[in-house]
Structure 1
Amino acid sequence: PSSISSGRNSITLARWGRRSHRGGGLLHRALSFSSSRGVSSGEGSAQPAEAVPAQGLYRDTVLLPRTEFPMKLTGQKLLDRELQIQQECGFADLYSWQRERKAKKEFCLHDGPPYANGDPHVGHALNKILKDIRNRFEMLRGRQVHYIPGWDCHGLPIELKALGEMGTSDLGPLQIRQKAREFAEGAIARQKAAFQRWGLMADWDKCYYTYDGAYEAAQLRVFQEMHSKGFIYQDYKPVFWSPSSRTALAEAELEYNPEHVSRAIYATFPLSTLPPGIASEGVSVLVWTTQPWTIPANQAICYMPKAQYSVLKRADNSQLLLVATERTASVAALLGTQLDSVATFTGSQLEGGICKHPTIPDKEVLLLPANHVTMAKGTGLVHTAPAHGMEDYSVASQFKLSVECMVDEDGKFTELAGPELQNLSVMREGTDKVISMLKECGALVKEEQCVHSYPYDWRTKQPVVIRPSKQWFINTASLKDKAKEALQKVRVLPESAKGSLLTMLDRRTYWCISRQRSWADTHHICRQTASYTFFCWPTTVVHPLLFLCVCLYQSKAGPVTDYVRGEDVLDIWFDSGASWAAVLEDSRADAYVEGKDQIGGWFQSSLLTSVAVRNKAPYKSLVVHGFAVSEKGEKMSKSLGNVVDPDAVINGGKDATMPAYGADVLRWWVAESNVFSEVQIGPTVLNSARDSISKLRNTLKFLLGNLHGFDPRVQAVDPKEMHYIDQYMLHLLREYSIKVTDAYSEFDAGRAIRVLQAFITRDLSSFYFSIIKDRLYCDPEDSLGRRSCQTVLEEILDGVTRSIAPILPHLAEEVYLHAPGHDETLFKSGWIKSSSVWRRPGLEEAVEGACAIRDSFLSSIPGKNAAQYDLTIAIEPGLLFELMESLQDEATSTSSQLAELMMVARVSLTSELPRDLPPDALLSHGTFLINLEGGVIREDSAYSIAAVPTSAARCPRCRRYTADSADCLCPRCQTVVSQAN
């Protein structure tokens, strides 16, 4: 009525929280008809035993749901249907189509290149589908998506796989490189085919590959720019070296094994020149190391200047040892003897002391101050081998010590270590020999096993060593502050990952970007010319074009003979980290989306190179997801037999242990998971995903079935003319669309699914569908009430279908093909369409006030059929009465909107209950709180309900208790049947 809407446009009434039991029990009571072409109401809908099909005369007058949309697709039919959808709906051309259309904004998601060294796995599925969900969402809401898939095509794993397949390594450098490229191309083809099968939207003919000449040219321009700015330099310093792959490694290429076992030793270095602060003769410095093989390379022993040190006398053999005072008790316990203090002094008093090397005669070892010395372990005196430690090297640089490397590329001692050690592996027999030599000369005090975290080569899974090598480095220390400043402007999901990024930046002072290959013989010169962007020097012969390139490279170039072919290979992290230069050019990506292992890898290498060249991060936001693990939370491995193959997930396992789930189940698994933690996959979660999609199909089938014969273009009802509950559902649909849009915008597809399921279960199946079945099935086909309902069902179908499309593109397009009134595919028609006019003053409060009253009524008749009661609702004059009056303008009615909401035989609306209620009347009372203008006006309206068993008979057509007798139709059905005849 006008009294509700008039003058209340500025009033905001608080939402009354719908009680969770509203959809339970008898609230599910609704007419349901079975038919060979009929459908049920979807998830949660009830099928009462007494609701039997209309028989005989009235059967054909009931408007049952009809649709060809299948309730369930399994096995080969499911797989064929998905492929058919991809073909019919133009999945392959969608990316190109959206790039050609006009759009106000662009969304750029830069693809981190997966490694081209194997078949697609569930880690690929997790990453790629997560990206595709966001891309499809952005494309649907009108943005032009920029997404160029790429592959990382260089590196030792590819080369090893290629050689392993051939079974021989007796090939020349160019042949090995060619075989590696062929292997990478095969891996790319297999991965690309899988990505397309998963429904990923991209132009698969225009991908980027790190082995392309144009890509390498862009990469070398980045190298040149960084070199010209002084960020790149060549130096001889310790690096992580992998003997198993014979190459230098960056921090990002290390895996730390927390269960590595080292042979730790305590050894003595006799003091030959006493510091001024020590008067005792015969004192030996006690050191501790977990790497005994580095003892021959010792150049110094470091102490902490401000710490206290003591000369200690062993009670068991009178040996004098120099140890940090703080470590005395620990060392005494280790040696199993009492240590008596002879003298104590500060570390600074050790300056000037010199020791004898225990295994190398005439070699002197200096005592030197250093800030990296700690008291956490050992003796407080640190054995220092500049060739084999980063901090050791810093000490050598400060005090001009020799940096002698006694270890070759295979991790074996060289001739510099002496004939006893030469050619022995430092990590195995070399360690044995050094310990034996220390024992022979009486310098070994104690040996013990030490379990600790130790770096391993991430490819070969073998331990690495630290050894000096002439390498190319990026001075990350000089870039660190700029990179951290740029990172502060980047949004990181989850937020905790930003701390990890900053920590890794702080920890890295330099970045070794060169690698070694025994076959490497390539030197690149990059310069933009009319004819050549990239030049490769692949052989030992000086190519004539080199003269041109040299002249173009610098204006004062010397003769070509001054140029030497380099034998270093660029680090693959620099290789992939420069992808922004080849793909994004001068723009920034809206998002980078990769696994948490890229915090120290691609995320960081991309940041450092972009900040060095462009003074900005290459991304506006970072999304860091977890790894795919087994259902038990274990890392997947063939040895454990818990590897889940995405191809088997889609097409079924070869041994029939896994059914064919199809691509949409795989996509649902990704979307539903908490991707910011470890993501479990296995039969349980996949079956759950399949069941969830089946329930969703059920609801969609109900919607489609009840839209049979409805054309929204000509038969839709204006919202202002709709029943209030229909308008209310449009309001809820608008709320749903806002929530699901926000979820996708936050890279939270899991929240989008939860919002979807809550909407379907609570608002549709348990509430709206139960109420409208009578109107849908039994009202005249072209009546305002039925068309009003169908208009809303079409809007709901459209909104739900669009909302699931980023996650389930195959199902969404399948539904769209069956839905009425469409001329194009869903993905070319945009995002959810909702309107602000769907929310009208008084609408929400009227429906939810009625729901509150109905909840009170239902609680008074537990276990009984609400349809068999007449209700009298008494409300004192006021706003709540006016709201209920808007749903029923007559004093009593069997067909009002209020009667429909209550799902009873008859409703009488009055200001007070009659005094002559029958003795079997069930009374209940309650209040409904209405807030006006943010709580400035509050009206707590009381109501009373009297429920009386109806005296009416059940209509043989609609099954409502509104007929005069059991063999007589109710007035509504009499009209419908007579018109049909």
Structure 2
Amino acid sequence: MRWGLRPRGPGAAALASARNLWGPPRLPCRLGWRGTTKRLLLRSVTGASNQLPNSNSGKYRDTVLLPQTSFPMKLLGRQQPETELEIQQKCGFSELYSWQRERKVKTEFCLHDGPPYANGDPHVGHALNKILKDIANRYHMMNGSKVHFVPGWDCHGLPIEIKVLSELGSKAQSLSAVELREKARSFAKAAIEKQKSAFMRWGIMADWNNCYYTFDAKYEAKQLRIFYQMYDKGLVYRSYKPVFWSPSSSLRTALAEAELEYNPEHVSRSVYVKFPLLKPSPKLASLLDSSSPVNILVWTTQPWTIPANQAVCYMPQSKYAVVKCTSSGDLYILAADKVTSVASALETTFETVSTFSGVDLEDGTCSHPLIPDKVSPLLPANHVTMAKGTGLVHTAPAHGMEDYSVASQYNLSTDCLVDEDGIFTDVAGPELQNKAVLEEGTDVVIKMLQTAKNFLKEEKVVHSYPYDWRTKKPVIIRASKQWFVNITDIKTTAKELLKKVKFIPGSSLNAMVEMIDRRQYWPTEMTDKWSRIICQFIDKAFEQIYDLNKQVLLYVLSLFGMRGQDLNLPALVYVTGALATDLQALSLVESSALATSWSFVGLLWTYLSCCQDFSADFSSRDKIGGKNQVTGAKALAKMKVLLLKKATMENEERNKKVSGKNVEIKRTKNKGGTCGSRSRVPAPYARGESSESESLLTLLKRHFKSLTLAKQKFSQLRNTLRFLLGNVTDFNPETDSIPVKNMYVIDQYMLHLLQDLANKVTESYRRYDFGKVVRLLRAFYTRELSNFYFSIIKDRLYCENENDPKRRSCQTALVEILDVVVRSFAPILPHLAEEVFQHMPHVKEPKSVFRTGWISRSSIWKKPGLEEAVHGACAMRDSFLGSIPGKNAAEYKVIIVIEPGLLFEIIEMLQAEETSSTSQLAELMMASETTLLTQEPREMTEDVIELKGTFLINLKGGDICEESSYKVIVMPTTKEKCPRCWKYTAESSDTLCPRCAEVVSGK
């Protein structure tokens, strides 16, 4: 085994111990050079390791100060989780939240816990959710703030109900609504306990004794009160409108947009249909031959909606054409830009008779293709595009959002011919009645078009189409009576409030604003049983909703607060006295419509704001859809930072709360403990991959697949920490520290780098860029520490006298490095940080890194001139090591020749005397002896290696700038290897070098 600089140990046992336990990994090293990156060629040093120690080496074993610590290099098998549990108990993880809440501090950090969904075992999405929040909380707590973090759970919704139904099987059919809700409640409670246990095992610091649950009676009453406040202001209303509907689901339910998956490979049966022109506009009439029939040419991918047609829409600003089919002689009207493509699709050619503007179609009408005596008006609409089709759009208001808008504007019928099962009703006529619209119903409609001679062609079209995420089958759009949230009047206010919040990433704000702009309303009612009840009173005869007077409302709300929303009783049973008389006079009954979980999560912020004096400094997008931004906009504006993270789905980027395929974290497979999971969570952000365009699961999967590499990096961190701990065992910072100005230059340089690291880490935490923290720390402990600094200082640590100022200088730097590094990763890896803290010598109570504050930095660490000295010496070191690849640097002596000037003065800081084997320059070069000259020596042997180079010195922002040349002369040493330190500085192989002789004589 070869090391760049070998531990100097006496005897085979000591050497093996030093190499195997304390030798740092030999990897390429980089140091910054004025904004650029330069590789330090840390060559492997051979020779000594290939020789057996001589007979004298054993007697010096006890004089070498090898590192000593009980901190283990690695934890195998069950050791990792067992050690973490022991640390949690010993360091008071469970008491940490209450301890920090009792501190008297000036600042408070409040993090809003957008609740996870209580629908199953803990999974990767939960880990991402909670660990990211915990990192933020722990940083702010260590940095002097009192943290407010009350965890909660969203306990309602279809995913829970579906799981309950699947477990019950056929037994579910005999359950009443209240019984099913009770089963769902029990399931949610069990899921909460599983998840809570996992969160606590992951070391999440929170107020676990006062969690909030959305099925709590007081919570439900408060939500209902807010809902009625919105109703009074006209923000919530009941109406008949088209919504996404899933006929394939056993629940026969409307779907929120977040519950849709878009299948890009869906195949639709598109058709070209003729709508005979009945009455042309005056302008159009002047262009047509009245003796020849003309047809409006329409293309649609939903033939089953044609029976519900009420109009044909056109784009007023576009050009249209009257064309003649060369094969049939028929006349058609379509967009001028689509003539060629449509003719090609119909496998014919068109001859353009005339062209006109879309506005010339105004006041025209055509005949319904299936009902000849029914008139379909030609209407202008801005949603018509020329991307596909003919530029003329068949309009069925009951089956399209834009179609419905047109119907509202022109007072068209919105009757729906399709029931909740996706079946044509009797209103559709005997030919279509009881036919499934997406199956045989489509066949029948096409045959009816053919019979009416209004069918031109059918073709298969592959395009993106919405599917029900549960059944993986296509949905339809159908009109039904629903509760809706109207945001038209509050859009502007909501968007302005959102702009006051800092979004991470910043581009997410635009995406959210665009989401709000796209819709005028959102459906907020569901047909699932396990949801939040909207307590409404409806006239049985006319299905008219009656406003509740304040007395009735307050009474109902008081019952909700005491008994929850599972009353499920007629209103007259629990409303008594004068209130009951009022209700009886109106012949009212109670109807328990159900609100979607999605719509009520938006009210969560309002609830917290009212109940907990809530003003969040930080939140994450757990359930922040468009409607939730609007309904909770006022409370959302109190948040300062909003982190948007991608949901963790197995295949699609859907919200993790409604996914049936989350990647579960099984305890039996998680033998690596918590540190492995916590260390990998920030990784996607470390590579700048937290964009909205890529599924976070893809990132996490990619990171988890590199588990071997992750273990290597984690082991390297432990080895670095072990080296630091082992070499400060005999060091007391209060009595043994060396003043910074008296420290070795290389030690001062490391403190200089350490302050820069501390500043960057702190700023990254402040900006919630936890991935950058990981990247900064990994670069520091692999490059600056393991590959560079540790290789240089081992001889000083192991072979100098215990109390020698040179050794104490190094230990002073190591103590500061250990402290900064541990505090830097503590919020991310709390278990490891506490484990290291327990092994720190001379640490006073309390023995918890989280109760001792954030990183301490000193302004005197920052010394820009140090960089020039170290970088200049490293440039010469690169030349030296590059000239002896694969050889032991200690077998050579080096002469450095620098022309008089600034560079010479800087390097002279490292070696005051002309020749030395113990100077700072010799230590950095790792040679047996270094000589510093201003002129090349007159006599040199023939086996020397001469290397030339230049180094640019740039100080004080360019005020001092000087390029100096240097020469490195390399020659074999004439000395022998010291049996104690293994440096080639002894007069013979049986005698100690002068340094070691002095140290041993003192012992």
Q: TM-score, normalised by structure 1?
A: 0.88
Deviation at 1:530, TM superposition (A): 9.4
> What RMSD in Å do the two structures reach over aligned CA positions?
3.3
Select which of 364, 367, 370 maps to 2:375: 364
Tell me how far apart the structure 2 counterparts of residues 48 and 193 of structure 1 sit (CA, whole Å): 53
Aligned to 1:41: 23
Tell me how far apart the structure 1 counterparts of residues 969 and 341 of structure 2 sit (CA, whole Å): 84
- CA displacement 1:462-494 (0-9 Å, x = unmatched): 322222222222222322222332333333233
Aligned partner letter, 1:733: L
Change (3 A) 1:406 1:787: same
Q: Does 1:283 align with 2:287?
A: no
Deviation at 1:241, TM superposition (A): 2.3
Q: Does 1:802 align with 2:844?
A: no
SS in 1 for 2:61: helix
Tell me how far apart the structure 1 counterparts of residues 918 and 473 of structure 2 sit (CA, whole Å): 79
Select which of 893, 912, 917 maps to 1:894: 917
Deviation at 1:564, TM superposition (A): 4.3
- CA displacement 1:187-246 (0-9 Å, x = unmatched): 222222222222222222322222122322332343233333332222222222223232
Aligned to 1:73: 75
Note the 1:714-725 alignment, pairs <5 A: 714-725=735-746
Change (3 A) 1:584 1:749: same
Instruction: Please say which of residues 514-523 and 51-60 is displaced more in the overlay.
Output: 514-523
Aligned to 2:665: 646
Deviation at 1:181, TM superposition (A): 0.8
Aligned to 1:593: 620
Deviation at 1:268, TM superposition (A): 2.2
Select which of 866, 877, 890 maps to 1:867: 890
Aligned to 2:496: 485
Change (3 A) 1:195 1:437: same
Deviation at 1:405, TM superposition (A): 1.6
SS in 1 for 2:383: coil
Tell me how far apart the structure 2 counterparts of residues 272 and 941 of structure 1 sit (CA, whole Å): 93
Aligned to 2:358: 347
The answer to whether the Cα contact below 8 Å between 1:39 and 1:65 also exists between their aligned partners in 2 is: no
- CA displacement 1:40-86 (0-9 Å, x = unmatched): 23222868561577733211111111222211212122222222222
Aligned to 1:728: 749
Aligned to 2:181: 177
Change (3 A) 1:280 1:494: farther
Tell me how far apart the structure 2 counterparts of residues 521 and 120 of structure 1 sit (CA, whole Å): 24
Q: Does 1:838 align with 2:861?
A: yes
Deviation at 1:667, TM superposition (A): 1.8
Q: Does 1:31 align with 2:3?
A: no
Aligned partner letter, 1:252: A
- CA displacement 1:350-406 (0-9 Å, x = unmatched): 334333333335322222233322232222222221222222222222222222121
Instruction: Please say which of residues 215-224 and 340-349 is displaced more in the overlay.
Output: 340-349
Aligned partner letter, 2:616: A
Aligned partner letter, 1:766: N
Aligned to 1:466: 477
Aligned to 1:772: 793
Aligned to 2:904: 881
- CA displacement 1:146-199 (0-9 Å, x = unmatched): 222222211122112112111222111110110111111112222222222222
Aligned to 2:548: none
Deviation at 1:776, TM superposition (A): 0.9
Deviation at 1:340, TM superposition (A): 3.6
Aligned to 1:3: none
Tell me how far apart the structure 1 counterparts of residues 206 and 832 of structure 2 sit (CA, whole Å): 19
Note the 1:85-124 alignment, pairs <5 A: 85-124=87-126
Aligned partner letter, 1:187: A
Deviation at 1:426, TM superposition (A): 1.7
Q: Does 1:222 align with 2:204?
A: no
Aligned partner letter, 2:994: P
Aligned partner letter, 2:203: G
The answer to whether the Cα contact below 8 Å between 1:517 and 1:568 also exists between their aligned partners in 2 is: no
Deviation at 1:280, TM superposition (A): 3.9
Change (3 A) 1:684 1:274: closer
Aligned to 1:375: 386
Change (3 A) 1:31 1:546: farther
Note the 1:473-512 alignment, pairs <5 A: 473-512=484-523
Tell me how far apart the structure 1 counterparts of residues 341 and 798 of structure 2 sit (CA, whole Å): 86
Change (3 A) 1:955 1:518: closer
Aligned to 1:697: 718
Deviation at 1:701, TM superposition (A): 1.4
**Structure 1 stretches lacking a partner, 5+ long:** 1-23, 654-659
Change (3 A) 1:418 1:520: farther
Instruction: Please say which of residues 343-352 and 95-104 is displaced more in the overlay.
Output: 343-352
Q: Does 1:263 align with 2:234?
A: no
Aligned to 2:568: 539
Deviation at 1:584, TM superposition (A): 4.5
Tell me how far apart the structure 2 counterparts of residues 636 and 155 of structure 1 sit (CA, whole Å): 13
Select which of 618, 624, 634 maps to 1:602: 624
Note the 1:530-569 alignment, pairs <5 A: 533=561, 536=565, 538-542=567-571, 546=575, 564-569=589-594
The answer to whether the Cα contact below 8 Å between 1:522 and 1:539 also exists between their aligned partners in 2 is: no
Instruction: Please say which of residues 224-233 and 208-217 is displaced more in the overlay.
Output: 224-233
Tell me how far apart the structure 1 counterparts of residues 813 and 479 of structure 2 sit (CA, whole Å): 73
**Structure 2 stretches lacking a partner, 5+ long:** 28-43, 536-551
Note the 1:399-410 alignment, pairs <5 A: 399-410=410-421
Deviation at 1:587, TM superposition (A): 4.1
Q: Does 1:574 align with 2:599?
A: yes
SS in 2 for 1:881: helix
Change (3 A) 1:365 1:855: closer
Deviation at 1:977, TM superposition (A): 1.8
Instruction: Please say which of residues 707-716 and 696-705 is displaced more in the overlay.
Output: 707-716
Deviation at 1:812, TM superposition (A): 1.8
The answer to whether the Cα contact below 8 Å between 1:873 and 1:909 also exists between their aligned partners in 2 is: yes
Change (3 A) 1:625 1:537: closer
Change (3 A) 1:523 1:239: closer
- CA displacement 1:427-466 (0-9 Å, x = unmatched): 2222222222222222222122222222223343332222
Aligned to 1:625: 645
Percent of residue pairs bearing the same amino acid type = 52
The answer to whether the Cα contact below 8 Å between 1:301 and 1:367 also exists between their aligned partners in 2 is: yes
Select which of 842, 846, 856 maps to 2:879: 856
Instruction: Please say which of residues 479-488 and 918-927 is displaced more in the overlay.
Output: 918-927
Aligned to 1:13: none
Deviation at 1:545, TM superposition (A): 6.1
The answer to whether the Cα contact below 8 Å between 2:131 and 2:204 also exists between their aligned partners in 1 is: yes
Deviation at 1:920, TM superposition (A): 4.2
The answer to whether the Cα contact below 8 Å between 1:801 and 1:812 also exists between their aligned partners in 2 is: yes
Change (3 A) 1:252 1:729: same
The answer to whether the Cα contact below 8 Å between 1:43 and 1:699 also exists between their aligned partners in 2 is: no
The answer to whether the Cα contact below 8 Å between 1:778 and 1:973 also exists between their aligned partners in 2 is: yes
Tell me how far apart the structure 1 counterparts of residues 524 and 309 of structure 2 sit (CA, whole Å): 28
- CA displacement 1:292-312 (0-9 Å, x = unmatched): 221221122223334444444
SS in 2 for 1:499: helix
SS in 1 for 2:297: strand
Aligned to 1:424: 435
Aligned partner letter, 1:263: R
SS in 2 for 1:740: helix
